[in-house]
Amino acid sequence: MAVIGGAIAYVGLTALAGAPDQVLGGVSILPFLPFPLWALVVYQSILIGIAMLRSTSIRFLEDSLSEKADLPESIRPIIGLNGTECVTNITDKNARWGHRISMLTINGFVAVSAIAYTLLCMRHGYEDLGRVWFWCLILIYTAFLGLTTLSWWTSITLSKKREQLRKTGALPS
């Protein structure tokens, strides 16, 4: 959440400081302002991926401890990390719709905000950039969006595979 807060603050501050009349070497700085924002968005997606994978590891340990403690099967799904998955994991079968909507909304807000901010900065700085730089920046920002999407996709896929291993009790070779 600190990364998201930092990204939101960055957008607000650079919107004020990066007004269209701000130039460096005769070129508007506006089209270059989204770089740090996209770095934060990619970093956020990596942090979420790490948390997802760590979550699976913790659940492996909790399952083992619950079994050793001889806890009843009816209690195991509601204790520890298993009990919180219904809030934080939108792919969990016990996830609540309210939490799913909230998680999707905040992550969608971050994506839409980053894209909108980038487009706004690019639109206002287009005249100073010229076509070649404009399209280079478009490709770079598209690559950032692709990295973010790839990070999310890979983390979700890997997390699902690990969760399936946890549920079946099969350990990877």
pLDDT digits (tens, 9 = 90+) for 99-115: 788 888 888 888 888 89
120 close to 14: Cβ distance less than 8 angstroms: no
CA-to-CA dists, residue 10 to 39, 43, 105, 117, angstroms: 12, 15, 20, 11
Residue-level pLDDT at 139: 94
- Reply yes or no on whether the pLDDT at 18 is more than 70: no
Cα 43 versus chain centre, distance: 7
Q: At a CB cut-off of 8 Å and minimum separation 6, what does 87 contact? A: 95, 96, 99
Question: Which of 120, 159, 162 has its CA nearest to residue 30?
Answer: 120
Q: What value does the mean pLDDT take over residues 41-49? A: 87
Residue-level pLDDT at 1: 65
Q: Is the pTM of this model over 0.85?
A: no
pLDDT digits (tens, 9 = 90+) for 71-103: 887 877 777 776 777 677 777 777 778 878 888
